[in-house]
Chains A and B, each alone.
Chain A
Amino acid sequence: MAIKNPIAGLNKIFDNRVRLGVMSILVVNDEISFNDLKQMLEVTDGNLATHLLTLEDEKFIKVHKGFIGRKTNTTYSVTKTGEKAFGDHISALEKMINGIK
């Protein structure tokens, strides 16, 4: 069998720090609101919204639109696909670090 290329598992989608952050947060929490994400990642509304859209298009995250009183409350959770892609990405990162050491 050929030696596996460690970089093969790396996912381009997670190259971005914000998207990586969103995924890290979502895999350990059931559901997180837009505002909580914004607070934890310290990014602007527009910036976060763009990255969330990318992740949504990849079907890595699910969006739930709800209301608290009259205010909209949008929450996000990770999908099975997203969880798997994220896991593969971390394994690839680990392999890279171990390979070069």
Chain B
Amino acid sequence: MSEHNQSLEAIQDIRRMMKRSSRFISLSGLSGIAAGFWALLGSFFAYNWIYEYYQGYKVSGYTGSSFQLLKYNLLALAIIVLIAALVSAYYFTWLKAKRNNMPLWDHTSKNLLINMLIPLIAGGLLILAMFRYDEWRFVAPISLIFYGLSLVNGSKYTLDDIRYLGFLQILLGLINTQFIGYGLYFWAFGFGVLHIIYGFIMWWKYERGNRQKSFA
């Protein structure tokens, strides 16, 4: 019987080590919820600014300066949302890693980061290139699609569930290409609502139990 237990223990050890050494498992669901929250807040502001701009457009017609202002405001907003999302994602993941006594920066997080950055940087550069030709209609679909690709690519180095979130973002981006002009809604749904739903599922699945255990 003790031999039986020993082999069982050895196999459990092996499995734990394989997973722990090849995947970054400290990614927190709360990071997703926080990122989704910032995205929705950002979309809300963007919606209001664009709405105000069109109100002004109807009254006083096209003025280059107010359009320029809107463009810069939206760009600044996008950068702020991105930074807020990254900082909160980092914070919650750092908390989870600390709770599990795992390093935040090791070869698994490095692998995850590199593999997520490849599609993200490619997509980001593509969007910048399109701006150069005054082509802004595909910004929302392209950011959704490339973010989805980045999640699919990164899923090999972290929790598998991220893969399905990636598929959904790609699908959403592709649908968006047929509804140009509704980009903000698609963007808010993909980066906001889907992140919150997924973050919650991940938290429910992986973290809720741990927390109860640590209280017990």
Residues of A within 8 A of B (CB): 14, 17, 20-21, 24-25, 27-29, 32-33, 36, 39-41, 90, 93-94, 96-97, 100-101
Contacts and interface: CB of A to CB of B under 8 A. Distances in A.
Contact of A32 (B1, B15, B21): B21
A24 B17 contact: yes
A25 B17 contact: yes
Interface in B1-60: 1, 3-4, 7-8, 10-11, 13-15, 17-18, 20-22
A20 B22 contact: no
Contacts, number: 54
Contacts of B20: 40
A17 B13 contact: yes
Given A28-B22, A29-B22, A39-B106, A96 B3 contact: yes
Given A93-B7, A100-B3, A36 B107 contact: yes
Contacts of A97: 4, 7-8, 11
A93 B10 contact: yes
Contacts of B181: none
Given A25-B18, A25-B21, A29-B22, A39 B11 contact: no
Interface of B: 1, 3-4, 7-8, 10-11, 13-15, 17-18, 20-22, 103, 106-107
A96 B103 CA distance: 35
Nearest to A17: B13
Nearest to B21: A25
Given A17-B13, A39-B103, 12 more contacts: A24-B13, A24-B21, A27-B18, A29-B21, A32-B107, A36-B21, A36-B107, A40-B17, A90-B14, A97-B8, A100-B1, A100-B3
A93 to B, nearest CB: 4
16 contacts: A14-B10, A21-B13, A21-B17, A24-B13, A24-B15, A25-B17, A25-B18, A25-B22, A29-B107, A33-B107, A40-B20, A94-B11, A97-B8, A100-B1, A100-B3, A101-B4
Contacts of B1: 100
Contacts of B11: 90, 93-94, 97
